[in-house]
Structure 1
């Protein structure tokens, strides 16, 4: 293999050689093993840390009135490890970051309200909350169901990737920001910039929406029963199909949210896809889009 002399190298190539990028030895390195699963341990051949075999008929209660959120979260894991599949949290006191990081099937009942970042980073549990929730509820939710009986704060379901996230009341602004999958259902009204930068998934708004609904959405579908104050950049009306109506009927009936007037008045919003190649547009074209 021929070797280049210093005189034959460009300034950038010379810099990369001086940094050792061409002489670094990559062979013989060990790879750190973070998880060591017995492939025969489960029927599926894989597992997750903090995932346990639980029994829904085995029930336990946690009185969170004098407990910080991190203690409650640790207690939930301890109970799941002992096989409890139904856990009731009493007196949550609107504490922040409660019931987060649950990577397990679980029937979780929260009797009261949560603060910011409640039930975030979950993958599998079915959660029912009798009160309200603060900002960023269910952030980065992967799977499972969450049903909130009252209202929710801003950034509801931020970056959700899967599962059903349902609020029977009103929610704040930026609902479903950066949504990547799953379903978000709002029984009441939602605030400004709902569906901002939405990438995939389905959102249902039974009431009205604030300004800039679906702003800069890349993909996905928004169904609305009321009126938006305005549509955002690159959000356009689309024809609602019979398949859309069947899905709406089934999903809203599942959570007892079908309006008395039915679903015939719902409309559909999708991405206009004018921003998909935004960086390739000429400056004058960018002005037209914006």
Structure 2
């Protein structure tokens, strides 16, 4: 991650060099690195608001265990076959495992929102409902929901099934409709993701992407820029074709990292957009 608060960045780099979180999600939605980044994004955001926040990895094994819950299976069959169940079991694991020094419930909530976002969905219920659910899970107070008794037949998985049902009822698809923009506007938005348009010639232009490389156990970092593809280019002030926009974002891997068209047009990183949207809830969700 880039442009973190200096103290947070130092802890991030130190923890990354020790644990090397995997960026592979297997049959899940979020990877170890996604959860790792979400935790430090939260730390960065709240430290920047002046809050005294404890953060960092307490037990990486518990983080890894929570992530693995999404793809656990038996005899080659994944236990959780739908997105809502995968999101729920991940959030439950992060909420209960306490893999971080602080901010476990906050990280669980942000990862729940981020996993939904990656599946092009968002919550449409009152934020207080979600906050109450996470608090009751952490406090083992699910019996305060009158309808929870109907889910007890699922045994140890009752809470996961209840959460998944909650997400199905209270989420909907994100609007990804195309908004017109010029090549100049497109290039400006791409630069936020270390991508740019350059070397225009013969009605085509290169799409260049800088990727961070880490060497020597993650201690040495450098950016290396490569050409990903070429697209048609009639001029900076001309409107870009929506198919070209989606192709660039796809080929550069932005969709794989949870970006949706709405966030791309409006600007910002998904984690920080979600933190801003749920700021009040996240602020109240401090670990006891």
TM-score > 0.5 by shorter chain: no
**Structure number having the greater helix percentage:** 2
| Structure with more contact order per residue of length (Cα contacts < 8 Å, sep ≥ 6) | 2
Larger radius of gyration: 1
TM-score by length of 2: 0.21
Give the strand-richer structure, 1 or 2: 1
TM-score computed with the length of structure 1 as normaliser: 0.21
